[in-house]
Protein backbone atom coordinates (compact mmCIF):
# COMPACT_ATOMS: atom_id res chain seq x y z
CA UNK A 1 0.00 0.00 0.00
CA UNK A 2 1.45 3.36 -1.05
CA UNK A 3 1.62 6.15 1.51
CA UNK A 4 -0.11 9.36 0.34
CA UNK A 5 2.32 12.25 -0.21
CA UNK A 6 2.71 14.39 2.89
CA UNK A 7 1.08 11.81 5.19
CA UNK A 8 3.04 10.12 7.97
CA UNK A 9 2.48 7.71 10.84
CA UNK A 10 4.72 7.18 13.84
CA UNK A 11 4.45 5.37 17.13
CA UNK A 12 5.48 6.58 20.58
CA UNK A 13 5.72 4.79 23.90
CA UNK A 14 4.24 6.38 27.01
CA UNK A 15 6.59 6.26 29.99
CA UNK A 16 5.66 5.78 33.65
CA UNK A 17 5.36 9.56 34.14
CA UNK A 18 3.01 9.90 31.14
CA UNK A 19 5.73 11.31 28.90
CA UNK A 20 6.11 10.45 25.23
CA UNK A 21 9.10 10.89 22.96
CA UNK A 22 8.27 12.42 19.60
CA UNK A 23 10.20 10.53 16.92
CA UNK A 24 13.26 12.30 15.50
CA UNK A 25 11.86 12.37 11.96
CA UNK A 26 8.65 14.04 13.20
CA UNK A 27 10.60 16.62 15.25
CA UNK A 28 12.74 17.48 12.23
CA UNK A 29 9.78 17.64 9.84
CA UNK A 30 7.76 19.94 12.09
CA UNK A 31 10.73 21.89 13.51
CA UNK A 32 10.02 20.86 17.11
CA UNK A 33 12.85 21.89 19.42
CA UNK A 34 13.55 21.21 23.11
CA UNK A 35 11.56 23.65 25.24
CA UNK A 36 8.81 24.14 22.63
CA UNK A 37 5.25 24.13 23.91
CA UNK A 38 2.85 21.89 22.02
CA UNK A 39 -0.92 22.14 21.98
CA UNK A 40 -2.76 18.83 22.37
CA UNK A 41 -6.41 18.63 21.39
CA UNK A 42 -8.54 15.69 22.50
CA UNK A 43 -11.77 14.21 21.24
CA UNK A 44 -13.14 11.11 22.97
CA UNK A 45 -14.29 9.67 19.64
CA UNK A 46 -11.50 10.79 17.30
CA UNK A 47 -8.46 10.74 19.58
CA UNK A 48 -5.62 13.18 20.25
CA UNK A 49 -4.22 15.69 17.76
CA UNK A 50 -1.11 17.84 18.01
CA UNK A 51 -1.61 20.74 15.59
CA UNK A 52 1.36 22.62 14.13
CA UNK A 53 2.87 25.58 15.99
CA UNK A 54 0.95 28.09 13.87
CA UNK A 55 -2.37 26.76 15.15
CA UNK A 56 -1.39 27.69 18.70
CA UNK A 57 -0.85 31.36 17.89
CA UNK A 58 -3.90 31.44 15.59
CA UNK A 59 -6.08 30.09 18.41
CA UNK A 60 -4.91 32.78 20.81
CA UNK A 61 -5.28 35.49 18.18
CA UNK A 62 -8.92 34.47 17.73
CA UNK A 63 -9.58 34.08 21.45
CA UNK A 64 -8.11 37.47 22.33
CA UNK A 65 -9.16 39.46 19.28
CA UNK A 66 -10.35 42.93 20.26
CA UNK A 67 -13.37 42.75 17.98
CA UNK A 68 -14.88 39.38 18.84
CA UNK A 69 -18.49 40.29 18.08
CA UNK A 70 -19.28 41.14 21.68
CA UNK A 71 -18.70 37.63 23.04
CA UNK A 72 -17.14 37.34 26.47
CA UNK A 73 -18.13 40.85 27.51
Does residue 7 belong to any structural domain of this protein?
Answer: no
In a domain, 71, yes or no: no
Overall number of domains in the chain: 1
* SS3 annotation, the chain: CCCCCCCCCCCCCECCCCCECCCHHHHHHCCCCCCCCCCCEEECCCEEECCCHHHHHHHHHHHCCCCCCCCCC
Residue 59 lies in a domain: yes
Looking at residue 64, its pLDDT comes to: 86
What pLDDT, on the 0 to 100 scale, is given for residue 69? 58
pLDDT band at 52 (very low <50, low <70, confident <90, very high): confident
Q: Does 73 fall in a domain? A: no
- What confidence tens digit (pLDDT) does each residue in 7-40 have? 988 999 999 999 999 999 999 999 999 999 888 8
Does 16 map to a domain?
no
Which structural domain range is residue 60 located in?
37-66
What is the pTM (predicted TM-score) of this model?
A: 0.67
Amino acid sequence: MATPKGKYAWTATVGEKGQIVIPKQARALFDIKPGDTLLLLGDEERGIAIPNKGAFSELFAIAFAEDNGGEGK
